[in-house]
Amino acid sequence: MNEIVPGPLLSTIDSPDDLKKLDKSQLQQACNELRQYIIDCVSVHGGHFGASLGVVELSVALHYIYNTPDDKLVWDVGHQAYGHKILTGRRDNFHTNRKYGGLSGFPKISESVYDAFGVGHSSTSISAALGMALASQHKGEHHRKHIAVIGDGAMTAGLPFEALNHAGVSRANLLIVLNDNNMSIDPNVGALKEYLTDITTSQTYNRVRDEVWNVLGMLPTKDFQRLASKIEAGLKGVVSKSSNLFEALGLRYFGPIDGHNVLKLVETFKSLQAIPGPKLLHIKTVKGKGYDLAEKDQTLWHAPGTFDKITGKINKKTSPVPEPPKYQDVFGHTLLELAEANPAIMGLTPAMPSGCSMKIMMDKMPDRALDVGIAEQHAVTLAAGLATQGIKVFCNIYSSFMQRAYDMVIHDVAIQKLPVIFCLDRAGLVGDDGPTHHGAYDIAFMRCIPNLVVSAPMNESELRNLMYSAQLPENHVPYVIRYPRGQGVMPEWRTPFKKLEIGKGRKICDGEGVAILTIGHPGNFAVSACKMLATNDIYPAHYDMRFVKPLDAEILHEVARKFTKIVTVEDGTVVGGFGSAVLEFMAEHGYHPEVRILGIPDRIVEHGKPEELHRECGYDAAAIARAVRELAGEHEEVMADMLMG
């Protein structure tokens, strides 16, 4: 049951139709109550915070003017869609947001008719909304409006420019709302940021803009439409440095306007409805608006977890004993340590310096650690270019984001055998962010690429050693190191570096009857499973394979000759993953063991705590122990039958 009570006005809004019943004079109160409700909910239940606070007025204005869900509203990323969800019938269930079995943290077609498109990764909104607009055009549904809301951070990707390039020559009834707050998760970078700042701060432009909008406000709609083409010509060329980029691409540009003035937004959207064709409205907002601490430290308050809404104190788990660090922090500190010893090392990340902890190196070596914006494809090919000149590049990309740069991995890195080191953060089931962010597929899609080494550490020390080994001069091949989100298992993690030979695993413990083969962090689940099984006098062998490609042939031959029962464990898809690789090896060499593959099943896994999802997918410690018991039991029955015979 939701213990958080909405304000008196918000409590009456169960759909956009209810919102439309409000007088314009009530809209600011609706915004205030919506903002407070988001603060109340996120402070208690956690979730993304600053982005949704920054678009409260925008959310209210869009649903007040447009006829959603008939008009199609597409949010980019979804971090900013909490207000949208609350206004579209999910207010009373919002406390389940990002919880196992509850609401998704992102817009999701199957969750609500108001979610026109599922979004978790950035920069998809313009393409999706343009597709909807062209479909409406084809079907003769000329009344229907299509709105894409995209942040200036998401605009640093290539996909929005591909969409803008198409939209500008279409006649599609499309409105792009550029939500400009100079932030994604970390501060935005690149020339586009400077360009938008120049538009916003140009005194000449803003004077013309204000005069134009003052005139427009006094015109009837029919006159507004008649004069639109003349007004456009006046807007072009007034930006200080050059003609307007968006106008040059064929879109009618309006703005920038204050994105926190709900009445101004309402009047603007009402006027823009009368203008046909593709157009872009540039609004200026503040990420974290209305919560002082979130405005001042926008990176920290992007997704702070639970906190005291009065004091702003973020709730952190405390322990009387040292706790293991997060894998991403081990990566960040180790990268700096390696870079201090090796001047050839550089780091790259596409807009995730804080998330992947490359910011640790950026703060110390700003010229050797680069944030390239939300541009995974560029990051990979840039890394390839650096590698041609002898640079040892650590390119850190979240596993699910690497899917967006797959062609570059093959075409620009693997074919040319360039020694780029890919560190895939957030591999496996990431938890509350759900299916758009689960790193389920990288083992399968990486191991099929020639020339790649694919590895996964079982703990923090192994991560350090893999990173150290990958950057050694004798390694001249592309090298993938995948590791999960969250804590490892070693409080004392800063161990001396040790060279690991490519394709060599290790035996954790010997045993009999059944062999457990693991890759990466789930090896720790197998350690726990072995302890459980020992209480029942079942003692399987356990091998940490370290490498999916190349596999340790020596270990696999040993296992195949000694064991007829094998359990493989991975935090990746069972289709084409590590278990499949083991089966391929066995078939190639004429072995016929019974193999039980545990991992992420061949279906979309929803959101929840990692431990909940590991249990659901059947590869936590209990599931591993159960699989071993089942195989061991079958083995004992066979032996008994043989003795009786």
Question: What residues are annotated to the active site?
Answer: 287, 376, 404
Q: ∠3-63-101 over CA atoms, to 5°?
A: 40
Q: Are 179 and 289 in contact (CB under 8 A)?
A: no
Q: How many helices (H) and strands (E) does the chain have?
A: 25, 17
Rounded alpha-carbon distances, angstroms, from residue 247 to 167, 174, 190, 206, 462 = 12, 14, 20, 16, 52
Residue 298 phi, psi (nearest 5) = -70, -25
| Helix or strand (DSSP H, E) at 392 | strand 392-398
Q: Which of 191, 190, 180 is nearest to 149 (CA)?
A: 180
Q: Which of 209, 207, 201, 204 is nearest to 180 (CA)?
A: 201
CA 624, 577, 481, 430 dihedral sign is negative
Quote the CA–CA distance of 147 and 73 in Å, as a whole number.
5
Q: Which of 222, 217, 238, 236 is nearest to 275 (CA)?
A: 222
Quote the CA–CA distance of 272 and 276 in Å, as a whole number.
8
Amino acid sitting at position 347: G
Residues 6 or more apart whose Cβ sits within 8 Å of residue 43 = 306, 307, 308, 309
The pairing of beta strand 453-455 with beta strand 369-371: unpaired
Query: Residue 422 corresponds to which tokens in the numbers above?
Result: 């890919």
